[in-house]
């Protein structure tokens, strides 16, 4: 579908959180220190768009925390409490943009868009990509509805769900390795090819930042053992993301440790270190068959960072402990999809361990 703005003026709230788009040279490297007004001043504004800036915080996004993400979620909800606001743009560092955007998407029920953008090159550089990304994000925020939280970068429009940083330095930094993008923006119009699949949004969490649960990520590798998973539980982790190999595999010892963690109330999700494709229950011997049987919730096509945000959201939701695994499954996998067709051998999937 082709999206073009009508002539009605649009009010967009821009929430600035730092990142490369707000970073300047500090003598030994770049760090975020520019205000939202400084960032906005580098960009032209789409015609008929008025922008109100909120400086929420100013950090490199590698310093993002769950507390800051909860603060950002509440700031976006506060901005949208004004019925005169047509959309929200969040400028954010690219390192953890995928996590913040997905966390907000899990709690976003408003038809008005929330659009994340940032930059790969610092503020004020001659070839900076920030100004163009801000312009495009404002254009999208002023144009679309009912698409949830979006990521707009390098002329492309992505759904928050599944979109990850795929390039450390290149301008086209974001993609969903397992799904096509939503659309493109340019020349004064926004073209959307499809609507994103999203689970039913959650209510705004009531927890204070002091009450935020610990959620850890543990990666399996050739010599992986249960040491770090057990350490996460011992440290008080209420949630763990196990990043398996292949389609979600580990060892019998790790499967036993997952079972012990789940038995004492820890919420465990299973993702993979492979860039694209779903978790699939194919292998025993500590593979996804055993891990899911032990209580790990498969993450579908979501990778570790976004899987962690889904675990956090499930732990913050006002549901009983017994219902949390089912809620987490819905958050991770979105709306139900048809099962893959069976092969001649009766297997739903063919692959290698």
Q: Which residue has the tokens 């560092």?
A: 93
Q: Which residue(s) pair with 215 in the sheet?
A: 239
Rounded Cα distance, 85 and 76, in Å: 11
Q: Which entry of 17, 20, 91, 245 is annotated as an active-site residue?
A: 20
Q: Which residue(s) pair with 121 in the sheet?
A: none
CA dihedral 295, 301, 306, 308 (to 10 degrees): 10
User: What are the residue ranges of helices labelled H in 35-118?
Assistant: 36-41, 66-80, 97-106
3-state secondary structure at position 38? helix
**Are the C-beta atoms of 195 and 111 separated by less than 8 Å?**
no
For residue 256, what is the enclosing H or E element? Answer: helix 252-263
Supply 269's token pair. 């999700």
Q: Which residue has the tokens 């993008």?
A: 181
Radius of gyration of the chain (CA): 21
Give yes or no: 20 in active site.
yes
Task: Select from 73, 60, 66, 75 the least CA-distant residue to 21.
Answer: 60
**Are the C-beta atoms of 157 and 185 separated by less than 8 Å?**
yes
**Are the C-beta atoms of 123 and 23 separated by less than 8 Å?**
yes
Rounded Cα distance, 162 and 157, in Å: 13
Residues with a known catalytic role = 20
């Amino acid at each position: 579908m082709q999206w073009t703005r009508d002539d009605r003026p649009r009010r967009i709230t821009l929430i600035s959180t730092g990142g490369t788009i707000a970073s300047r040279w500090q003598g030994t490297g770049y760090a975020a220190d520019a205000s939202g007004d400084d960032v906005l001043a580098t960009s032209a504004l789409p015609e008929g768009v008025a922008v109100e800036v909120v400086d929420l915080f100013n950090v490199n996004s590698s310093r993002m925390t769950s507390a800051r993400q909860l603060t950002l979620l509440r700031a976006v909800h506060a901005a949208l409490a004004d019925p005169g606001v047509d959309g929200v743009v969040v400028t954010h560092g690219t390192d953890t943009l995928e996590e913040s955007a997905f966390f907000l998407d899990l709690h976003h029920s408003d038809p008005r868009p929330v659009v994340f953008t940032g930059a790969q090159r610092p503020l004020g550089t001659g070839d900076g990509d920030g100004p163009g990304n801000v312009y495009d994000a404002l254009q999208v925020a002023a144009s679309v509805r009912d698409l949830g939280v979006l990521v707009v970068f390098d002329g492309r429009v992505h759904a928050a769900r599944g979109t990850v940083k795929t390039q450390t330095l290149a301008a086209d930094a974001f993609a969903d390795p397992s799904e096509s993008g939503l659309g493109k923006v340019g020349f004064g119009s926004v073209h959307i090819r499809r609507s994103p699949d999203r689970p039913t949004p959650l209510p705004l969490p009531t927890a204070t930042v002091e009450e935020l649960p610990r959620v850890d990520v543990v990666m399996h590798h050739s010599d992986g053992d249960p040491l770090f998973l057990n350490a996460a539980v011992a440290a008080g982790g209420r949630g763990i993301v196990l990043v398996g190999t292949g389609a979600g595999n580990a060892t019998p010892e790790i499967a036993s440790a997952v079972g012990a963690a789940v038995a004492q109330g820890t919420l465990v999700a299973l993702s993979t270190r492979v860039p694209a494709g779903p978790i699939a229950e194919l292998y025993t011997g500590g593979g996804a068959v055993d891990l899911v049987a032990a209580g790990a919730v498969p993450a579908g096509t979501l990778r570790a960072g976004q899987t962690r945000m889904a675990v956090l959201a499930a732990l913050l939701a006002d549901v009983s402990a017994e219902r949390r695994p089912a809620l987490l499954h819905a958050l991770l996998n979105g709306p139900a999809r048809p099962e893959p067709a069976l092969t001649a051998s009766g297997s739903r999937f063919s692959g290698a361990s």
